[in-house]
């Protein structure tokens, strides 16, 4: 566990996980095709409500989100 990070009780409910990706505009189509394959992998590993979102203020930034049981 990271120093200073609080302990998480497994009974608290789902935990939202976010992963930030920096993607050059000319690679966005290929990136989206590849990252969508992670939905199946994340769900296989127990994730729920997977999504990929583009940041409207930084068009090179994509945020992958999914919830896992805590």
Contact 36, 52 (CB under 8 A): yes
Mean pLDDT confidence for 30-51: 92
Beta-bridge partners for 53: 63
Contact 45, 6 (CB under 8 A): no
Contact 48, 68 (CB under 8 A): yes
Domains of the chain: 14-69 (3.30.70.100)
**Does pTM top 0.95 for this prediction?**
no
**2-38 b/e with 16+ CB inside 10 Å = b?**
eeeeeeeeeeeeeeeeeeeeebeeeeeeeeeeeeeeb
Residue 61, pLDDT above cutoff 90: yes
pLDDT in tens, 10-34: 667 788 999 999 999 999 999 999 9
């Amino acid at each position: 566990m990271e120093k200073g990070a609080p302990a998480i009780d497994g009974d608290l409910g789902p935990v939202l996980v976010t992963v930030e990706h920096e993607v050059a505009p000319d690679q966005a189509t290929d990136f989206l095709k590849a990252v969508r394959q992670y939905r199946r992998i994340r769900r296989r590993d127990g994730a729920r409500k997977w999504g990929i979102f583009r940041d409207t203020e930084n068009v090179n930034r994509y945020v992958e989100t999914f919830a896992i049981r805590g």
